Amino acid sequence: MRGMMTCFSDPRSILAKAYEATAPGGYLEMQDSVFPMHCHDDTLEGTALDIWGKACVEGAAKIGRPWTNTPNYRGWMIELGFEDVKEKIFEVPINTWPKGRKQKELGLWWQADLMDALGASMAILTRAMGWTPEQVELHLVQVRKDIKNKGVHGYMPMWVIIYGR
């Protein structure tokens, strides 16, 4: 399963169903991120990207679909009976700001994904946060600039969790 953080109001119940559907000896791999963006310095703080991410988190919580559950997956899986639960957390840069060819390429791909996904925040920001469509569109112009700005050293924590039954 990938990118499921926004899909379920009760992800623990989905993991329980996955456990029931997994035959003994089988396994399932999940890859998911968590909002808002993170940063090791202060280059993200106060940017339109930071404001957008935090507003999305707040709005998602208001409608009962928290975008912050990913760190709970491992514990829930263990509680449900999964065995040999392995978890690895990667820092996926939002653009090509980091050094190194591999990190730059990863940032380039994640930047493209973010740019494509921005429009999906319209519903949460208008319905849950009370922004007008015009306010969202104007804000997203600045968010796009921040995503492309190599001076903003943001990253998304990406969890990869593999568990067996």
This prediction's pTM: 0.90
Domain boundary assignment for the chain: 11-164
Which pLDDT tens digit goes with each residue over 144-155?
A: 999 999 999 999
User: How far apart are the C-alpha atoms of 102 and 124, rounded to whole Å?
Assistant: 33
**Per-residue model confidence as pLDDT tens digits over 91-142:** 999 999 999 999 999 999 999 999 999 999 999 999 999 999 999 999 999 9
Q: Supply the pLDDT for residue 164.
A: 78
Cα R_g (the chain), whole angstroms? 17
118 Cβ contact list (under 8 Å, min separation 6):
140, 143, 144
Q: What is the C-alpha end-to-end distance of the chain, expressed in Å?
A: 16
Token pair of 125 as six digits: 């920001």
**Do the beta carbons of residue 32 and residue 159 sit within 8 Å?**
yes
Query: 25: phi > 0 → left, psi -120 to 50 → alpha, else beta; which?
Result: left
pLDDT tens-digit readout, 43-100 = 999 999 999 999 999 999 999 998 999 999 999 999 999 998 999 999 999 999 999 9
User: Does pLDDT of 9 surpass 80?
Assistant: yes
